[in-house]
Structure formats: structure tokens, C-alpha cells
Amino acid sequence: MLGIIGAMDEEVAQIKEKMTDVTVTSVAGMDFYQGKLGGKDAVVVRSGIGKVNAGMCSQILADRFHISAIVNTGIAGSLRAEINIGDIVVSTDAVQHDMDASGFGYRIGQIPRVDTFAFEADEKLRELAIECNQKVNPEIQAFPGRVVSGDQFISDKAKKEWLIEQFSASCTEMEGAAIAQAAYLNGIPFLIIRAISDKADDSAGMDYAAFEAQAIKHSVNLLLEMASRYEA
């Protein structure tokens, strides 16, 4: 069964509308929609914004629904010049950029006593996502790349440049790396799919408001096609 997480109602509402045979289970303030999506078993849920919500949501999917994979869908800020608003990033791996235990000798982003710096996304899921995007969103590109997450909306050019320098990342958002960590600890394949809504710089507030709906449409198109072709 595929687990699909979006942080905001806007990111999952259109996906829920496409589901059939739905039952809803409420846990920890989250509504888990279990049913069929594209003819396949799936659970779709709005986690809420931020890493704690995302991590809790992922663990509930693992414990209560015994999912075979997690896909995180939503929007993000671009960290690479060639990745434009509306384009999509599919994760190669994910890092929590606001984890800082450097005072103990750890690299920024490294979680102490965890045996990996970056959580590797599932290659088969990533290849499927890129293939599906070519079919349903032919006008935009899907870029493989690192996703960095933190409990911050990045709208400062200096912070953007710091993220690029520290992590060589493709986009930044607020949930994906927490989902990646939970998936890693539970031995569950995962993928983060993020449509770009802004450039994560001084224009981010204006760009986000203008392009949020466009970005969500692209990620929803991709995810619906992907769900219909997913094989556990």
C-alpha cells in the first residue's frame, strides 16, 4: 500500500477527490484517507506543516497502515538557477539543514548517532516519477536532486546561498527530510516530489502566492499517474 503525505490541504485535496472506496481514520489530529487511487491501494493524509508533524505522520503510516512506500508531495523553493518555478524536483536524498550539532564535532545537517548524513531516496520510485512526469507534464522538467528541509520558510538570499554552499541541494522545504528519516528508520522506501513555487530568495513571498496553484497542479498530475502505475 502506498502512503502519500502532503503538508497542506491544498496539496492533497485534489488527490483525495480521485480516491474511491474511502474510509477515514483520525489519529493525532490527522485524517488518513484509505482507499483506491488509480485502482491501487493507498493512504492519503495531510500531515500539517513542519518536521515534527511530518515525522509523526510517517510513523503512523508505518504502524497503523503498514505501507510499502511513502511519497511526499508538495511545493518547495528552488536552490538551482536551472530549476524554474513550475518545475519538479524528485529526491535523490534528503538532509535536515537546521540540524546543527557542530559544537560536538558533527557536520551541519548530521543527526548525532545516526549512521548516515543524507537519507537516500528509492531509485525505482524516482525513475517512475521522472517517467510519469514526462507523460503528464511534458511542458516541465523533473530534476533529480537533494532536498533540504528545516522548520523555516526560506525567503532570504543570503540563507539561500548558505544552503547551496553547505548542501549542494536542489530545493528547500519544511517536511521531506523528516519523512525521509522516519522512512529510513522503518526500512520503508520513500520519495520526495516537490513542485517549485518560488526561488527561495527575496522574491519568495511574492512568487509563492502567485505560483502555488500552478505548482500544486503539476505535482498532483504526476502523483496520480505514479499511483496508478505503482507496484509494491
Answer yes or no: pTM beyond 0.85: yes
Tell me the one-letter amino acid at 155: S
Q: Locate cell 512506500: which residue? A: 69
Residue 213 CA to residue 15 CA, distance in Å, equals: 14
Q: What is the pLDDT of residue 207?
A: 64
Q: Give the residue with greater pLDDT, 37 vs 201.
A: 37
* Known active-site residue 198: yes
Q: What whole-number percentage of the chain has pLDDT above 90?
A: 79
- Rounded Cα distance, 96 and 178, in Å: 7
Q: Which residue has the higher pLDDT, 202 or 114?
A: 114
The pLDDT, as a whole number, for residue 208 is: 62
Catalytic residue among 87, 122, 198, 201: 198
Confidence category of residue 205, pLDDT binned at 50, 70, 90: low
Per-residue confidence (pLDDT) for residue 80, from 0 to 100: 95
Q: How far apart are CA 83 and CA 196, in angstroms?
A: 8
Instruction: Quote the pLDDT of residue 34.
Output: 98
* pLDDT (tens digit per residue) in 95-150: 999 999 999 999 999 999 999 999 999 999 999 999 999 999 999 999 999 999 99
Give the type of residue at 146.
Answer: R
Predicted pLDDT of residue 198: 79
Sorted by where each starts, the structural domains of the chain and their CATH numbers stand as: 1-225 (3.40.50.1580)
- Residue 196 CB contacts under 8 Å (≥ 6 apart), including other chains: 75, 76, 77, 78, 83, 84, 85, 86, 87, 88, 89, 171, 215
**At residue 211, does pLDDT exceed 70?**
yes
Catalytic residue flag (residue 165): no
Look at residue 8 and tell me whether its pLDDT is greater than 80. yes
Provide the pLDDT for residue 54: 98
Q: What is the pLDDT of residues 52-70, one digit of tens each?
A: 999 999 999 999 999 999 9
